[in-house]
Chains A and B, each alone.
Chain A
Amino acid sequence: MTPTAQELHPAPMLEPGRTILELRGLEKRYPGTHALKPVNLAFKSGEIHAIVGENGAGKSTLIKLLTGVMPRTSGDVIWEGKPAALATPHEAMALGINAVHQEVVLCRHLTVAANMFLGEEESRFGILQQRAMVRQAQTIIDDLGFDLPAHVVLGDLTIGQQQLIAAARATVRGTKFLIFDEPTAYLTRKEADQLFTLIRRLKSEGVTIIYISHRMEEVFELADRVSVLRDGTLVGTRTIAETNDAELVKMMINRSIEQVYHKEHFTPGAAIVEARNLSGKGFEDISMTVRAGEIVGLYGLIGAGRSEFVTSLYGRHRRSAGQILWEGRPVQINSEHDAIKLGMALAPESRRDQGLCLNLPVGLNLNLPIYKRISNNLLISNAKEKAEADRQIAGLRIKTPTRGALASSLSGGNQQKIVIGKWLAHGAKLFIFDEPTVGVDVGTKAEIYRLFGELLSKGAGIILISSYLPEVYELADTLHVFRRGKLVATHGFHTASHEDILTQALAEKQEKMGGQT
């Protein structure tokens, strides 16, 4: 008989409802900023406690303090009745505090099993017991209900599946307090459901869950209580039954929810770009038109071929068939350079991998596409370089100490503004936004949507890719649904229901995933 995950790693028997961790006046100052103002908060064992707030509200600081990544400035942390120093990550883990981060921090080149046992490998006489570890890892994974093999290399899994493995890894280490930092940002709906099942199960075992997310419906689906942070201050804590979307959003931003999705309707003008039967790696036979003044939304699951389609349109990847018409004329787009010259701009999916030079200054990132314009044949004009960068920083309200600060030092929402800002400076007729609001707070989202309106009013066209249905649903004039590399449905503004669109995006995929091993 195979042992279950529980027998291998007995869960700590915790009495539910007792206070496990208490923050008393927890505070963090950085030179020049008060990142976290004294917070008093008690977490109960066996509760799912959501924390929401805009980017930069203090959520990441709180996580860093709790996981021992950074020292606190003042205040006490009481763990199971005793003060805890939490000076190092190791100390936090030894107490049973663990975190699952938004970006997977595991070794892509090792197997799933090797990752799960990383740091506590089983060995006999110094020889790794590889097969035993694979077997045990498989048992744990099966037991959690994830349909994933333990012997494959982690990098071969999708990002979402890797995220599930990261979560599974955190559960087998005697964890009593587990922090999830936006775990669903890159998950498909099915993967998210698996994750939620895991979270509920951990809760039933008495583990305390801190759940950080920008997605309100997840908070309401999962959490028992929710705390709101704004500008480093704990605004309040509510039990989930006595609050609602509108109240939380208001606490977060002091602004009502209707103002978030800012949609302006324009009469569409002439066609800017027309794709005719485009095929390439990851997408097949896609045709669509984008006209001046309209937002064309592309909805589908991650991996449905939307990003592949737009990057090919942008000349980054080769196309195997099809034709592109730009303002009615057939054009050849063989490189990004060709696309940019015609008047296309792409704000890509991953800020970290495709969007930004993180260890370079904000100003350099903003000016990257326009260096040709701000230099004469030989030299860059210092004055123009400064003026252009400052213009975007002021115009988009990018929160940065100076244009010389490194892009990596900014919060997610402000980094996204840089990615968008560089194309505003350059100018374009067709803007492609690939998941522009992933990991971006509500306030910045609203600013980005308002910006869409401005671009449209100036006669630009927009392609908006989003895996977040409410976003494309509320914003797109034309909504195309992608499934497994094909365009399967097209709707006008609000002409179909959420359920219909979701079904069209999912249908075949779910049958397929059932049979996966």
Chain B
Amino acid sequence: MSIEAIPADKPKRNYNVLFGLTLLALLVLLWIVLSLATPSFASGNNIANLLRQGSMIAIMAVGQTFVIITGGIDLSVGAVVGFATVVVAMLINAGVPIALAILITLLVGVAIGLFHGFGIVKMGLPPFIITLATLTSLRGIGLLMTNGNSININSDSFTAFSRNSFIGIPNLFWMVILVGVPAYIFLHHSRWGRYLFSVGSNAEASRLSGVNVQRTIYMAYTLSGLCAAFVGVLLAARIGIGNPTQAEGWELQAIASSVIGGTSLFGAVGSVHGPLLGAFILATINNGANLLNVNSFWQRIITGALIIIIVYFDGLRRRGK
């Protein structure tokens, strides 16, 4: 009989699903309470608005989660979003076809991710440092490119996309599904997903088992950069401008969503549905606070407190079980 094998460890996947369900319950609870407390919350308009607000952070949080699972962190995502709005705005205004402009912007995101991978794998820099460096540099490059001005995008068909809906659901939310489903399959049903977890758990053991650790790290940061650039495109469409100072502090919201969604900052623990739910919980709190006329300064404090509470209870439950 092996003693240590006892502490009724449920299979991890079940546990993840369970945690996902409690988060979903929390989200539903918030919605019910807010519907009762304010007349406007449950209106179609507000829900659509809420989904738009949450979508962009949700997509960033998915990319961020890949990185955190490997035991890293990507602080640059907010800056990548801002930078991507500039790139896509300039391309469209220069007459590049919209599809091509979007593709090029996404490739810029990929390039930034590859650069992070290079800095970590080849130069041996800690992820925190290399992505912090890009965070500040990208903002600077964007400001240089625009001379500090905003670029108005002169394409209605591009900006219309973010306002429109498809079968009653805002297009932006469809984008979450567009990213979320392949991300789920990638993380939970492909071997590259398994490698993300194994590298985050023990890089040396993975390496000795034949896992290409360097490629796995490149992949995580590339996907995070790609998700952020994609969000940049969506944001540009939504606000109709390219501005390098947009999305200030979004990296922290993405990280918070991921952590609320059960991702461990120590690596090797995380899912795709968790950060998605986390992002919409945060969006709901902000939306609800607005409707309840809570001072926006208080909103930040509440968000902070909530992160502490949710992660604390998650930690308790992990230790308890």
Residues of A within 8 A of B (CB): 30-35, 55-56, 58, 60-61, 231-232, 314, 316, 336-337, 340, 346, 348, 353-361, 364, 367-369, 371-372, 375, 378-380, 382, 399-406, 408-411, 413-414, 422, 426
Contact = CB atoms under 8 A, between A and B. Distances in A.
A-B residue pairs, 7 tightest by C-beta? A404-B11, A357-B201, A371-B191, A30-B6, A56-B2, A411-B2, A33-B6
Contact of B194 (A371, A378, A403, A410): A371
Given A231-B1, A406-B12, A355 B7 contact: no
A56 B207 contact: no
B123 interface: no
B5 A405 contact: yes
Given A361-B11, A406-B12, A422 B209 contact: yes
Contact of A414 (B2, B201, B268): B2
B201 A358 contact: yes
Nearest to A361: B12
Interface in B181-200: 185, 189-191, 194-195, 197-198
B11 A402 contact: yes
A360 B270 CA distance: 11
Contact of B210 (A232, A340, A404): A340
B211 interface: yes
A364 B197 contact: yes
A378 to B, nearest CB: 6
Given A364-B194, A401-B9, A406-B9, A357 B2 contact: no
A410 B197 contact: no
Nearest to B204: A354
Contacts of A35: 1, 3, 6
Contacts of B10: 404
B5 to A, nearest CB: 6
B208 A346 contact: yes
Given A33-B5, A354-B208, 14 more contacts: A35-B3, A56-B1, A232-B3, A314-B208, A316-B208, A340-B210, A346-B208, A355-B205, A357-B198, A405-B5, A409-B4, A409-B6, A409-B7, A411-B4
B201 A30 contact: no
Interface of B: 1-14, 185, 189-191, 194-195, 197-198, 201-202, 204-212, 268-269
B191 A380 contact: yes
Contacts of A408: 4
Given A354-B208, A356-B202, A422-B209, A410 B5 contact: yes
Contacts of B14: 404
A359 B191 contact: no
A56 B268 CA distance: 27
A336 B1 contact: no
A419 to B, nearest CB: 9
B205 A411 contact: no
B197 A360 contact: yes
Contacts of A413: 2
Contacts of B207: 316, 336
A55 B269 CA distance: 28
Nearest to A339: B210
A457 to B, nearest CB: 25
A370 B199 CA distance: 15
Given A31-B6, A31-B7, A379-B190, A360 B268 contact: yes
B1 A360 contact: no
B3 A60 contact: yes
Nearest to A410: B5
A406 B2 CA distance: 14
A445 B9 CA distance: 27
Contacts of B11: 361, 402-405
A368 B210 CA distance: 8
B12 A404 contact: yes
A253 to B, nearest CB: 14
Contacts of A33: 1, 3, 5-6
Nearest to B213: A336
A512 to B, nearest CB: 30
Residue of B4, B10, B191, B269 with most chain A CB atoms under a 10 A cut-off: B4
A33 B2 CA distance: 9
Contacts of B208: 314, 316, 336, 346, 348, 354-355
B209 A368 contact: yes
Contacts of A401: 5-6, 8-9
Contacts of B205: 348, 353-357
19 contacts: A30-B3, A31-B6, A31-B7, A31-B8, A33-B3, A56-B4, A346-B208, A353-B205, A359-B201, A375-B191, A380-B190, A404-B12, A405-B11, A409-B5, A410-B2, A410-B4, A410-B5, A411-B2, A426-B210
B269 A359 contact: yes
A353 B209 CA distance: 13
A357 B5 contact: no
B1 A32 contact: no
A369 B210 contact: yes
B19 to A, nearest CB: 15
Contacts of B12: 360-361, 404, 406
Contacts of A411: 2-5
A369 B207 CA distance: 10
Contacts of B9: 401, 404-406, 409
A30 B4 CA distance: 9
Contacts of B2: 55-56, 399-400, 410-411, 413-414
Contact of A357 (B1, B7, B189, B268): B268
Contact of A368 (B1, B189, B206): B206
Contacts of A337: 210, 212
Contact of B202 (A31, A61, A357, A426): A357
Nearest to B3: A35
